[in-house]
Each structure stands twice: as C-alpha cells, then as structure tokens.
Structure 1
C-alpha cells in the first residue's frame, strides 16, 4: 500500500467524508440523468413510430376517398382519430372523411369527424375550419340553430368573411332578412380592399346576395 504524507491523508479523509455525506445523492443524480436520457430516446422512437403508422393509415384513407368508398373512409379516419389523435394526420383525416361522407349525401356521418375536429384537433386554425364545415353540413341538413351555434366569431381572420357569408345564408333560410343583410354587408366590408381572386369572388357573391335582400341600408 502506498504511503501518504499527513497532508495527503487529510485530503483523502475529507474526500471520504464528503462521499459518505453526498455519495448517494450524486449516484442518484447520475442514475436519474441516465434514465432521463433513455426515456427521451424512447419517447422520440415512440413518436416516430406513431407518425409512421399514422402516415400509412392516412394513405389508406386517401385511397378510399379517391374511390369514394364511404365505409372504408369512415373506418380509416376513425382509427386515426382513436389511435393517433395527437398527430396532424388525425386532424386531416377528420376533414377528408367528412368530405367523402357529405359528397355521398350522408350528412349524419359527415358530422361526426367534424364535431371531433372542431373541438379536439391539434391545430387551432384547423379547428376553426372544421367549425365552418360542420356548420355547412348542419345547414344542408336544415339544422339551422345548430349551424348558427358553430359560427361564433372565429379567431382566424382569414375565415371571418366565410363565417359571415354562411351565417347570412342560414339567417335568410330562417326568414330573417334584416339579420341576413347585416351578415352579407359584413362580408362585403371585410373584403372591400382584398386583392386575392378567391376573396374577390366571395365579395362579389356576397354583394349579389346583399342586393337580392334589399342592399345596404
């Protein structure tokens, strides 16, 4: 055994004392750090696996949609929403499946994924779009009050005019011409200075509707 002078022995004693006091804490911290690293890597792997599986299932939905297969579309979208609702694929699946159902005239089944997306989609902008589409489906189903309930002012500025235009259509269907006129006027005003072709087209349509119900008064 190597011989130590008094100063070295004192240093060794201090180190031993420190280790006896804090060694367990240091070891625990090291273990915790190692576990955290492993946990993070595991979480990254899990997220990647979820995304890959969701992508594959969304491809199945796209194929079913292109074939206008309403049942397969519902099943694929339902699986995405149930198992992968934390991914963007679930959000997109809800809108796509609803589109397939609505185009087939199945308004009841079109409502289901839109109702989910309107409240639970991960993307706030997509939630607003889902509300608009859900209101459209309800309007087509003559559920006017339910449709209007979905059309509370959106936070997405790009959808304000579209919300107001649909609101005008619903109010007019209910025989509320004055309120419908106000809604159409809001569309025209909101898009007054737009240069986008799509928005300009909506403004012209809203202006025609406004003129049909008596014009701006």
Structure 2
C-alpha cells in the first residue's frame, strides 16, 4: 500500500528525518568536501613530486651525455632514494646501466638492469631491462643464465623480434645452431617493414648456412 501525505504531513516527515539524520548529513558533507580538497592536495603533491623527479632525471641525463658519470651519480641517487616509484627512476637506471657498460663496469650495470626488471614501471621498461640484461650476461659468458631470462620473460609484446634475436645469439653461443636458426627466423618474420636491423638478421642466418628469401622466410 502506498501512503499519500498532504503538504503538512510531508513537511513533518522531512523535519523528523532531518532531526534524526541531520548530524550525519553535515558530517558527510564535511567529509566529502574534505576528501575532495585532500584529493586535490594529493594531486598537487604528486605533480610536484613528478616535476622534482623529472628535474633530477634531466640533469642526470645531461651529465651522462657530457661523460660526467661521477657527477651524475648524485642525481641518480636522489631519484632512487626519493622517487623510487617514479618512471623517471626506472628510466634513470636504464641510462645509468648503459653508462656503466660504456665505462667497462658491467657488474654495476647488471645491478641497474635487475632493479628495473624487478621494480621498474611502466611494464615496458621491465621488458627493456630484461632484454639488456640478457645481452650483458651473454657478453659475460653467462649464456645459460641469459637464456633463462629470455625464456622466462612474462611479457614480450612490442619486443618479439628483439627477444628472438637475442635468443638466437645465445643458442648459437651454446652450439645449438638449428635452434638459433629458428630463433633468427622468428626475429626476421616478426620485423615490421622499415623497423629493426633486417640486414643483420640476414647475415646471422647466412653465417649459419641459411639464405632467407626476399620476404624473410628461410
């Protein structure tokens, strides 16, 4: 049954409801506006943190470009200590890893690549770090360890050709020529027109006695 109230009765019902729930409404409004204000403050704080991280990253990049590795370490350390959850920290670790390789300090580079592979963001940077680490391990005669990294990659989207090529390099080093051919062919087939170093893959296949056709099929 639907109850029908006249204007007076409806007014009394509303007053009674407000008396019983008015305090809760006021508190709710305060919380809502407080939450909104807090969220805006949080957004502002986040933006400020990202700007700080970018500034540190930019200075570090410029110092590395000028071959001032020691000087760049201060900015790099600030990123690691104060902005570890920022993508700039991951980008910085990748850059520092490459700088360490160029400075003939591969062990230090490995640490940077492992950090990004385990903790980096976004996910694509983890994939890049894994690929670089595999190449570095192979260069250090750690082919089995490098192969494990490649084969256990959780994500290779966008890097299929790169992973297949490195797998081929590793398998060739391990003396598994037929498997290396398969990997190089996969890399070649995965390349989009105008993307990647097709000529190098062709040379690697030819070195194993395989001549791809014009479309990249062995």
**Superposition TM-score tier, normalisation by shorter sequence:** 0.7 to 0.9
Structure with higher helix content: 1
Q: Is the 8 A contact 1:98 1:114 kept in 2?
A: yes
Name the structure 2 match of 1:72: 71
Structure 2 stretches lacking a partner, 5+ long = 1-6, 212-217
How many pairs does the alignment contain?
Answer: 205
Deviation of the 1:11 alpha carbon: 7.1
Name the structure 2 match of 1:215: 210
Name the structure 1 match of 2:43: 44
2:142 & 2:68 partners in 1: Cα distance?
Answer: 26
Which residue of the other structure, out of 195, 198, 201, is the alignment partner of 1:203? 198
Relative to 1, partners in 2 of residues 1:166 and 1:11: Cα closer, same or farther, differing over 3 Å? closer
What per-residue deviation string (whole Å, max 9, x for no partner) do you get for residues 5-43 of structure 1?
xx87x7775454222211121012111112111211110
Name the structure 2 match of 1:30: 29
1:149 & 1:73 partners in 2: Cα distance?
Answer: 32
What is the TM-score normalised by the length of structure 2? 0.82
2:167 & 2:72 partners in 1: Cα distance?
Answer: 29
Matches within 5 A, 1:1-217: 14-152=13-151, 155-191=155-191, 194-196=192-194, 198-199=195-196, 202-215=197-210
CA-based RMSD of the aligned residues comes to 2.4
- What SS does the aligned partner of 2:100 have? helix
Q: Is the 8 A contact 1:181 1:214 kept in 2?
A: no
What per-residue deviation string (whole Å, max 9, x for no partner) do you get for residues 162-182 of structure 1?
111111112222222222222
Relative to 1, partners in 2 of residues 1:212 and 1:167: Cα closer, same or farther, differing over 3 Å? same
Relative to 1, partners in 2 of residues 1:154 and 1:73: Cα closer, same or farther, differing over 3 Å? farther
1:80 & 1:166 partners in 2: Cα distance?
Answer: 30
Q: Is the 8 A contact 2:110 2:136 kept in 1?
A: yes
Q: Is the 8 A contact 1:77 1:93 kept in 2?
A: yes
Structure 1 stretches lacking a partner, 5+ long = 1-6
What is the TM-score normalised by the length of structure 1? 0.83
